[in-house]
Structure 1
Amino acid sequence: MCGRFTLETSKEVIESELGIELSDYIPSYNIAPTQQVLALVGTNQGNKAGYLQWGLIPSWSKDPKIGSKMINARSESVDEKPSFNRLLTRRRCLIVADSFYEWKKDGGEKQPYRITVNDGGLFTFAGLWDRWQQQDQTLVTCTILTTKPNALMDSLHHRMPVILEEQARNDWLNPRVEDKNYLKSLLQPFETSKMAAHPVSKRVNNPRNNDHALIEPVS
């Protein structure tokens, strides 16, 4: 799964690499569910960047609290679940990050690890989004898709987030791409050789902690 990640890359690098413009940007070393996350959505006029609330609330849901339980969606069955089926062809997004955390069970404890991609570079998770409205309240929310682990992640957890490289990113955001089988074929484990992991402080367990020390290796 993916329950916590970071985005501390500079605004200028994000804009340059993703071809977007950001008006508001605050780096974070400990992005947690229900917080706002930077995302890209594809339209017929091009890609748009903005912030979505992490934790999908389906448009038909009666209770917005369900979002805290829907931070991830299994890619293998995404076209079968009522919460996600229609979103696969209509409401796809990319969630921007530069590392994520996973917890490895070690006896009776869990050790957090920071996982990076392409030597700590910027990357994007495959996601889905939806708009929930009730009376005068509107929430635009998202979920991160997960898949089976690669060799690196298998030593930490039985699932991993779907990370898309450039060509897959373009197709994922293209609103004209609607073939569910093709879209699901993009949701594969990322290449092991392009990822690295190191243990970090258990201070990351508390989402109120948010500083550079969280991403530094510990022995």
Structure 2
Amino acid sequence: MCGRYAQTTDVKALEALLGAVAVADIAPRFNIAPTQPAAVVLTEDGERRIALHRWGLVPGYASDERSTPLLFNARAETLAQKPAFRSALQRRRCLAPADGWYEWRAVGRFKQPYLVRRRDRAPFMFAGLWESWTSSEGAQLRSMTIVTVTANQDLAAIHERMPAVLPPEAWDAWLDTRVDGRSLALRGLHPAPVGDFEMVAIGARVNQTSNDDPQVQEPVQEPAEPLELAQPRLI
């Protein structure tokens, strides 16, 4: 699963890394939440672009933007079967740049947040899908979802799912809609290799979506047991 993430790489660095042109004001973000605008990379009119789309896909067939659940994640195994994702898998694939995401692990009654990032701190790309939805008044909304796969051995302790992180050699095929999306979903989406990512315990500032600054990623000592649940010692 991916319910919160960060994208702090400078837009000029993203343009150089991706061979893309930014068509929106892409600011560093430390705490991106569903329904908020997020950077996506897509190919339109023969040009690779970095744009902003709402995180939480609204299918083109929706009667209104609230008529479907908040589709901020999409399971790779069922992309080709789900009506909400089937068309986008073939025609509207994108990358979502990131340099970390957040997960929570229950420790008693306390939920310890973690930052998951590459060990080398490099940015990476989630596999994503995007849609364009038009309201009855003619307003257009562009939205996206992040594809997930089974978590690898490193991350399974905090969640059974993880975002599908595409290696650089897979970016071109994922963005090229001439390549069959069904085959990409079935054979091209895998958990990240063991050892590539690390989990860092961080403070509770990340819990508030209004906190969107470097301090949300400050490491803390991982609790072995929440203090309020500590058992009294018998003397």
TM-score computed with the length of structure 1 as normaliser: 0.94
**Shift of residue 25 of structure 1?**
2.1
1:49 aligns with 2:63: no
**In the alignment, structure 1 residue 170 sits paired with structure 2 residue 164:** no
Aligned to 2:232: none
Equivalent pairs: percent with the same residue?
Answer: 35
- Whichever residue aligns with residue 4 of structure 1, its letter is R
Let me know the Cα RMSD of the aligned residues: 1.5
CA contact (8 A) 1:44 1:175 kept: no
Cα displacement string for residues 39-85 of structure 1 (whole angstroms, at most 9, x for unaligned residues): 11124613222111100000111131256621001111111111011
What's the secondary structure of 2:172's corresponding residue?
A: helix
CA–CA distance in 2 between the matches of 1:124 and 1:76? 19
Check the 8 A contact 2:101/2:115 in 1, yes or no.
Answer: yes
- More divergent stretch after superposition (65-74 vs 132-141): 65-74
CA contact (8 A) 1:71 1:143 kept: yes
Q: How many residues align?
A: 219
> Which ranges of structure 2 fall in alignment gaps of 5 or more residues?
222-235
1:18-57 aligned at under 5 Å gives the runs: 18-22=18-22, 24-43=25-44, 45-57=46-58
Structure-1 separation of matches of 2:86 and 2:41: 20
Per the alignment, residue 205 of structure 1 pairs with 207
Post-superposition shift, 1:166?
Answer: 0.9
| SS at 1:94 equivalent | strand
Secondary structure in 1 aligned to 2:189?
coil
The equivalent residue for 2:79 is: 78
Structure 1 runs (4+) greater than 4 angstroms displaced: none
Gaps of 5+ in 1: none
Larger radius of gyration: 2
C-alpha contact (below 8 Å) 2:6/2:101 kept by paired residues: yes
Matching of residue 2 in structure 1 with residue 9 in structure 2: no
Change (3 A) 1:40 1:203: same
